[in-house]
Amino acid sequence: MSTTDEIKEELDSLIDDQSKLIELATDTDDTIKFGTKYQAWYSRAIKIVEALAPERLEEFGSYYLIDPKRKVMDVSNYVIQDYIKAIGARKNSYGEELWDCNNLIQIRVVNQVQILASLRSRIDSVLQDVTGHLFADLQDKELEAASKLIKASPRAAGALAGVVLERHLQRTADNHGIKLRKKAPTISDLNDPLKEKSVYGLPVWRKIQFLADIRNLCSHQKENEPTKDQVMELIEGVNGVVKTVF
């Protein structure tokens, strides 16, 4: 199961728990069962919200956490933490509770579940952004390593830069849903379909073909040694492609 599927499964499980939590929040005199179930649920849910929608984390927590600045408890600031601590509603001069704690807590739970439900559509894009940032960071480090490697071995430096380019084009093809016949496509195998699908135009295609030629010189043509200038041009060219082609 992929990471995306695991997160979706966990999110669906949390959403499905709504009915059970609401059912348990019916007896103000027995909040232990609700508290036990809810505390475990909240610990799981807060991680999902933090990962997928940090901008809604404060809102999500406000339905549970007591506001430290609260001076007087009323219907607007009575929260789930109050209920779990068995703190009841304020009473009037006749000893009658001013609000229905059970109903109010059920509403708070529903509000939290609605936030979780709204996040399902964001899973793919959020994970893609995270993966993309990590991938870009890795590419930068590999190209930096290739630049340092030129002094010791231009051939090895060029081969490393070629791997970065090949892997980036593979990821770009995946992002655009381009199916490839070969299980291990080369730069040229990737370059043609990307141009055909209008991911980029002829100038970029020619540039990538040129870079592929230098990469092949580094990786395959043992009779000819690549020059440092050629390898530096390859590294700079790959850096330009990974920054502009997605």
Other CB atoms within 10 Å distance of the CB of residue 213: 15
Alpha-carbon span 78 to 19, nearest angstrom: 21
Alpha-carbon span 163 to 151, nearest angstrom: 19
Quick one: pLDDT at residue 79? 95
Amino acid at 55: E
Check: CB of residue 28 under 8 Å from CB of residue 102: yes
The series of mean pLDDT values per 10 residues for the chain, 246 residues long, is: 75 94 85 93 93 90 95 92 86 72 93 92 71 75 92 92 92 86 88 92 95 90 83 94 88
Quick one: pLDDT at residue 157? 93
For 36-90, the three-class secondary structure string (H helix, E strand, C coil) is: HHHHHHHHHHHHHHHHHCHHHHHHHHHCCCCCCCCCCCCCCCCCHHHHHCCCCCC
Quick one: pLDDT at residue 5? 76
- Over residues 102-151, the pLDDT tens digits come to 899 999 999 999 999 998 887 777 766 666 666 777 888 999 999 999 99
Taking CA atoms, 138 is separated from 11, 40, 47, 131, 239, in Å, by 30, 36, 26, 11, 12
Quick one: pLDDT at residue 59? 96
Find the farthest-apart pair of alpha carbons in the chain and give their distance in angstroms, rounded: 100
- The b-or-e profile of 225-236 (16+ CB within 10 A means b, else e) is ebeeebbbbbbe
